[in-house]
Amino acid sequence: MFFRYTKVISPLLRPSFARPAKYFSINLPKHRHTMSLPELQWAQVAEKTGGPLVYKQIPVPKPGPDEVLVKIRYSGVCHTDLHALKGDWPLDTKMPLVGGHEGAGVVVAKGNLVHEFEIGDHAGLKWLNGSCLACEFCKSSDESLCPDALLSGYTVDGTFQQYAIGKAAHATKIPKNVPLDAVAPVLCAGVTVYKGLKEAGVKPGQTVAIVGAGGGLGSLALQYAKAMGIRVIAIDGGEEKKAMCESLGAEAYIDFTKSKDVVADVKAASPQGLGAHGVLLLAVAEKPFQQATEYVRPRGSVVAIGLPANAFLKAPVFSTVVRMINIKGSYVGNRLDAEEAVDFFARGLIKAPYKVVPLKELPHIFEMMEQGKIAGRYVLEIPE
């Protein structure tokens, strides 16, 4: 990634555990609400790169003129959060850091320039916390490429806390009839894979191979693909993930731990044996990235979304050219992609599996994630 990010200067303060939480008032203009909020809140804090995480009290932030303060009720856990903790991406992280970027909750305060939200609205805070809205990329709806993008749980504090801040322009409004725990994973994982499917250009009735289909991203990708009328070949490992992928509508499941030839198996499962029309690479290992161009069909698209540390995507030039294969990366979606992804969910078209656990359990979730033992998505319940 070639873009730079703004540096967050304000450190996390260490409060006293001996005194009870005090309360402060956010004075907003008279035509808006004034809210009383606690001075301190509970959060999972990484005080240094690599951890460990510390469950502690920190100050409740105050929103700026163009920001909203969201009382987070649920936050999804993404593999990116683990990368942020470990610091194994070539991007500097804020330290100390509150991770998380799939937060769903209620707007409890807002700046005087915010007109998109009212107090009490349900809102989601995503990976893209803010952007300049004035550069070439922002103007062309590629806000994720903004040189001054703010990243939740990476360059600014995220959603593994009771109260989190986001730029109002980038917060996503959530219909009040939508369960906040269920929609939380859609705010990053859902938006990301939905954008990837759009980038792949796979049409209804055509086939997409989803590598890592049994994971958090993959289970949502499978759901979005089916909702878009796309046939799915799921690639992952293990019987538990096989059962889940089949229950979500995968037409074929390739177990890479048992397959003697993944490339041949994917082709055999595809129409006319020509390979998948598109491939979504959600894997956290490098090898699948080298295999994908071998089983995508001519004129097909290979879309890289997963980010294995220090990995490379290689393809033979001759076959790539003569088969007219399209290889591209897909980052997070823009603001419209997020609205569309949430709308799919609100209409009942996305019912991806997830498990709810308390915020205190985050270190254990990271352990399971490193061991590849997570099927579906984990959602943290944030304490009241």
pLDDT of residue 152: 97
pLDDT of amino acid 18: 38
> What pLDDT does residue 35 have?
65
Q: What is the pLDDT of residue 91?
A: 85
Check residue 20 and give its pLDDT. 39
Residue 31 CB-half CA count within 13 A: 4
| Residues of the chain under the 70 pLDDT cut | 1-35, 352
CA distance 378 to 81: 12
Residue 96 phi/psi, 5-degree rounding, is -60, 160
CB 313 within 8 A of CB 289: yes
Question: Going from the N-terminus, what domains does the chain have, and what CATH number goes with each?
Answer: 40-174+353-381 (3.90.180.10), 190-329 (3.40.50.720)
- Tell me if 320 sits within 8 A of 240, measured CB to CB: no
Contact assessment for residue 279 and residue 270, using Cβ atoms and an 8 Å cutoff? no
Cis peptide before 63 (omega within 30 of 0): no
Tell me the two tokens of residue 143. 């806000």
Structure tokens at 142: 């590629």
The pLDDT value recorded for residue 263 is: 96
pLDDT (tens digit per residue) in 42-92: 999 999 999 899 999 999 999 999 999 999 999 999 888 999 999 988 888
Alpha-carbon span 367 to 308, nearest angstrom:
17
